[in-house]
Chains A and B, each alone.
Chain A
Amino acid sequence: MPTITLQQFMFGAIALVILGSAILVATLRNIFHCLLFLALSFLGVAGVYLLLSADFLAAVQVLVYIGAITVLMMFALMMTHRVMTTDISQSLTQWWLAPLPIALGIFAVLFRVYVRHGGQALVDTKHHAVPTTGIIGQALLTRYMLPFELASILLLVAMVGAIILAKEDKSDDPA
């Protein structure tokens, strides 16, 4: 019997949480409950990042996805008239077969590669458990300087766009 390392055990447990809550997100009839399970699923993904020694990414996942995006979606729900208490069926009767071949196809290719390379990784996967925040800081300020600055313009555009689309027009506002 193959021995299971602690890391593999943790991965299995977290994967179950992610998959379980993702299935609930896609099937529950109360959209607010879907959202809560989505947050749980995000938390699980943060756990996977931690297992991969991507500590900064895990923090981002918790801060942005759970702390901001889920909250934003909750506000969106709370604003939407009567959506919260409505029963919504999530089954798409005509289209449920379409994603299946795509998912199976991708799985087949990944599985084939796994078998062909004898379960060995194609590249060096020895990741060293060092804190990544500093490394990311280094990369952002040197090599990825241009995307870094471009990201701030993107955030500016996102803010302007969000305000334009979400704000009610009042005639006394400046143009």
Chain B
Amino acid sequence: MSFNPFYILPELILTAGGILVLLAGLSTRKWEAPGKIKPYSPEALALLTLTGALASSLALLWRPEVVKGVSQFGDMIAVDPMAVFFKIVVLACSIFVVFLAADYFQGIRVHRGEFYALLIFATLAASFLSAATDLIMIYLSLEFLSITSYVLVGWLKQDPRSNEASVKYFLYGAVAAAVMVYGMSIFYGLAATTDIAAIHSKLVSYPPDGSPTHIIFLGLLMMMVGFGFKISMAPFHQWAPDTYEGAPTPVTAFLSVASKAAGFAVVLRVLVSVFTPGVVDWTPMIVALSGLTMTVGNLTALPQCNIKRMLAYSSIAQAGYLLLGVAALRLSPLALPAVMLYLFIYLFMNMGAFAVVTMVSARLNSDDIREYSGLAKRSPASAVAMAIFMLSLAGIPPAAGFVGKFYLFAAALQSGDKTLLYLAILAIANTVISVYYYMNVVRYMYFAKPKSDTPLKPSFAMNMVVGFAAAATIIMLISPEPFIQMAKHSAALLTGTP
């Protein structure tokens, strides 16, 4: 067994930083208004921790053995480019969330130290989940992520919607995790090991006519309940709208990107490395789930008038598009890079959108889409950025979302499979539907008459964050080539290693 602490340096930094932030929080006064990020404040320490972890994750990519992929800690985790890629997405998302939270919690009585400590620990869990290669490790990090999220979602104790959001998330999460563990127990029962590579070798060792296909499929289905809950896949998405609406907006942003990305990491790893061709054919199942998820998400997003609820259904729909790529995994080499590229673009466009939502709701104290009336006059820069994010989420050309969707659809078409072709057509139809509700926000911002003309003044930090996300969204449209290369490179290695 090998364990080199260097390979889990990002996680070690997160652990130490999380504890430090927790203890630092104990020595600051609770009623102190957060406002600006001061040195030694929990916000500053959290930023330092997350940036350090991000830097050390990037440093991992320079090690030749990491590029080939190494197993660490008794095959509990893999340190390979795919794991590092998802760690980077998760860490970048958390850095965004710190800025959002500093803006959001202005003037709200809040336990600051604990909030950032729990955010860091949630990031730690998501980061382990992206690398986990053992059923115990997958289960533990998934539950860790969930339990931390339940607390973060219910953070506004005085707000009944936040309480409701937390309880709903918890009830769904507990049931989903229980079903998932049942599924895992089936594989432990078959292979007498928790290591997914060893489970794979056991599953392929059955003679073709003696393979217990039904029970394998049942186990996979049950595991997908737990994973589907994390990525808000229909029909396990029902928690999402209420939870997204009731949670503090920065937490909603975390759930919609970091939590979802880590969920996709584990879906990809399990599907690709355990259920190889010959074990069980899961493509039809994922095709059906993908079609259902995108259609349900888009149709229910249409009538929403709360922007967080709208973005919740939008994020369900986005999970549907990503699942389209997952469905094509077996048949097209383009699929895995396309999924990873889309997640990377999704990180910036969704965090950007939530940054604007945080900014508006912190100043107007409302998440109603009608409050965005005349935002073009009240805060022109935010309105332009929000328009870019909405276009990008809809997948319309002057934004990177278009490139991401293009590659996802291309992967489906390249596979040459009939059902995937129909699914791609369904996805295009869904994209057309989605334009309506995304553009609705733009319509309010630019063409509706505002209630008041007082300008909204985003803080310097928020302007920077929104500007950065918008710039990233544009840059990835203009020159997506480096990002595509990076995604392809990471993806090639996952399929290469069992």
Contacts and interface: CB of A to CB of B under 8 A. Distances in A.
A and B pair up: yes
Interface of A: 106, 109-110, 112-113, 116-117, 122-124, 142-147, 150-151, 153-154, 156-158, 160-161, 164-165, 169, 171, 173-175
B447 to A, nearest CB: 43
Contacts of B22: 160
Contacts of A154: 140, 143-144, 147
B27 A146 contact: no
A57 B19 CA distance: 31
B29 A175 contact: yes
A110 B186 CA distance: 10
Interface stretch (B60-68, B109-117, B239-247, B320-328): B109-117
A58 B189 CA distance: 19
Contact of A175 (B18, B73, B113): B113
Q: Is the interface of B mostly helix, strand, loop or mixed?
A: helix
Given A157-B121, A175-B28, A124 B192 contact: yes
A171 B114 contact: no
Contacts of B117: 160
A116 B22 CA distance: 55
A147 B212 contact: no
B31 interface: yes
Contacts of A116: 212
Contacts of A157: 118, 121, 144, 147-148, 151
11 contacts: A122-B215, A144-B76, A147-B137, A153-B15, A157-B121, A161-B150, A164-B111, A165-B166, A174-B26, A174-B27, A175-B30
Contacts of B32: 175
A113 B216 CA distance: 10
Contacts, number: 108
A158 B189 CA distance: 30
A102 to B, nearest CB: 10
A122 B212 contact: yes
Contacts of A143: 1, 74, 76
Contacts of B192: 123-124
Contacts of A112: 214
A160 B114 contact: yes
Contacts of A165: 151, 154, 157, 166
A173 B30 CA distance: 8
A153 B113 contact: no
Contacts of A144: 74, 76, 136
Contacts of B118: 157, 160-161
Nearest to B15: A153
A147 B22 CA distance: 22
B141 A164 contact: no
A153 B31 contact: no
A124 B166 CA distance: 43
A166 B215 CA distance: 42
A41 B184 CA distance: 23
B494 interface: no
A113 B215 contact: yes
Nearest to B166: A165
Contacts of B137: 146-147, 150
Contact of A122 (B18, B113, B148, B189): B189
B124 interface: yes
Contacts of B468: none
Nearest to A146: B73
A161 B29 contact: no
Nearest to A144: B136
B190 A122 contact: yes
B77 interface: yes
A49 to B, nearest CB: 14
